[in-house]
Amino acid sequence: MNKLKIKNLLLTGVAILALSGGVIGWNYIVSPTQAAEGHGDSHGHEEGEEKHDEGKEEQHGHGHEEAKDDGHGHGGEEGEHAEGVIALTSEQITAAGIKVAAAGPGKLAREVSVPGKIVAAADRMAQIVPKVGGTVTEAKKNLGDTVEKGEVLALIESREMAESVADYLAAKRAEELARTTFNREKGLWDKKITAEQDYLTAKNAHQEAKIKLDLFKQKLQALGQDGEISNNGNSRFHELRSPLPGRVIARELTLGDYVDTTHSAYTVADLSIVWVETAIAPGDLPFIKEGQTASVMGSGGKATGKLVFVSPAIDPETRAAKAIIELENADGKWRPGEFANAAIATSAQDTDLIVPKDAVQTIEGKPVVFVRNDKGFERRDVMTGREDSQHIEIVSGVAFGEPVAVSSTFTLKAELGKSEAAHEH
C-alpha cells in the first residue's frame, strides 16, 4: 500500500512539473521494482504521457520563437552590419562625384622625391628689349594681358629710328634716279648713240645706289621695322612687338619713361607648358634618367609630368644636379613662382592588389575603404602595405575585383560619421 502511494505521488509531481513548463525536453528514471509494479498501469498512462509530450513540444517551440525575437539572433546581426553601411542611391552617388573601380593588380613605383619650383618654360618665354632708345609714348599691354605673335606692345619715339627711316628714304630716291639714268644710257648705248663710258658709268652708279638702299633697309629691319616704310609722320616711332603668343607676365615700363637697349621692357610667356625645376642629390642620380614619369603635387593639385632634362654637372654650391620636369598647363592651374613636390618614378614593382590612395580613409586610427553594394557602400577595414605617390597596396580586407570607391571618399566618411552618431542617439 505504501508503494502504491509513492507511485501516485511521483506521477502527480511529474504532471505538475510538465504543466508548469519548468522543464524542457527532460527524462525521468524509475527503479526496476517501480517499473515492474507499475506495468499493469502503464497502458493506462500512455495516453497521459502522449499528452505530456505534446505539451512539452508546444512549450519548446514557443520558447524558441521567443528566442528569435529577443534581438540576439539573426535580426541582431543585421542591425550590427547596418552600422557600417552608407545607404545611397545611384543618383546620389553620381551627384556626389563618387567614382568606383575594381580592386586589382598593378604596379607600385620606386620613386625619388624632391622639392621643386614652378617656372615658365625657357623655350616658351621671351624678354622683350627695345631695339632703339627712346621715350614711351603708348603702352598698349598690361600685366596678364594675352597677346598674339607680332602684336604691338608699346610705341617708343626714337631719334635713331627717325634718322634710319630718313636715310632709307633718301637711299630709295637715289636708287630710283640712278635706275632711270642707267635705263636711258642703256637705250642710247644699244642704239650706238652714246659712248660706252657713259653707259658703264650709269650702270656702276645704279649698282652703288642699290647696295646703299639694301644696307639701309637691313638696318631698319634690324630695328624691327619690317613693313612698308613711308614718310607719313610715324617714321620716328619704334613698335615694340611680341615674338610669340602668350601672356604678359612682367612689364617694366611706364608712359613717358626713357628706355634703352639694355633693359627688358616686357616679358611674355606661353604658360600652356610650364617647368618644375628640381635638384637631384648625387646618391639618386644613378636612378634618374630623362624621359621618366614624375608626379607633381602643389597648390595647383596633382599632375603627371615628364623629366626632360638632367644636368650632367653637379652645382658646386648646392652639390646637386639640376633637373627639369615638363608639365601640361592648358588650364593655367600651375603658376610660375610657386613651390611643388615631385616624385620621379625610377622603377616599378608588380603588386597583387592595389587601389588609388584617395580610396583609403582613416577612421578611428584604422585604414578603411568603401565597397559598393546594392544599398550603397559598406565600410571595410583593410590592412595596407607598400605605397607610392598614387597607389597603395591592400594586403587584406578587400578581394580581387570588388568595386571600391576611389574618389570623393571623404564624403562617404562624413556620411558614415553622421549615421553612426544618429545610431548612438
User: 3-state SS string over 165-180?
Assistant: HHHHHHHHHHHHHHHH
Rg, Å, the chain Cα set? 48
109: Cβ–Cβ under 8 A, 6 or more apart, which residues?
A: 293, 343, 345, 346, 347, 348, 349, 388, 389, 390
Question: Is 387 found in the same domain as 347?
Answer: yes
Evaluate whether residue 214 is within a structural domain: yes
Beta bridge partners of 100: 405
Written as nine digits, the cell of 45 is 498512462
Cα separation, 128 vs 139, in Å, equals: 13
What is the structure's pLDDT at 227? 59
Question: Is 259 found in the same domain as 202?
Answer: yes
Question: Is 254 found in the same domain as 339?
Answer: no
Cα separation, 373 vs 355, in Å, equals: 18
Question: Is 331 found in the same domain as 232?
Answer: no
Q: Which of 239, 269, 299 is the last residue of a domain?
A: 269
Question: Is 397 found in the same domain as 344?
Answer: yes
Identify the residue with better confidence: 132 or 307: 307
Cα separation, 425 vs 422, in Å, equals: 5
* Res. 424 pLDDT band, cuts 50 70 90: low
Q: For the chain, how many structural domains are there in total?
A: 3
What is the structure's pLDDT at 234? 66
Q: pLDDT tens digit string along 340-362?
A: 999 998 877 888 899 999 999 99
Question: Is 410 found in the same domain as 292?
Answer: yes
Which residue range forms the structural domain that includes residue 112? 94-121+270-424
What is the structure's pLDDT at 349? 80
* Res. 402 pLDDT band, cuts 50 70 90: very high
* Res. 70 pLDDT band, cuts 50 70 90: very low
From the list 397, 379, 410, the residue with the least C-alpha distance to 84 is: 379
109 within 8 A of 350, measured Cβ to Cβ: no
Q: Which residue has the cell 639714268?
A: 181
Q: Which of 237, 269, 301 is the last residue of a domain?
A: 269
CATH number of the CATH domain containing 235? 2.40.50.100
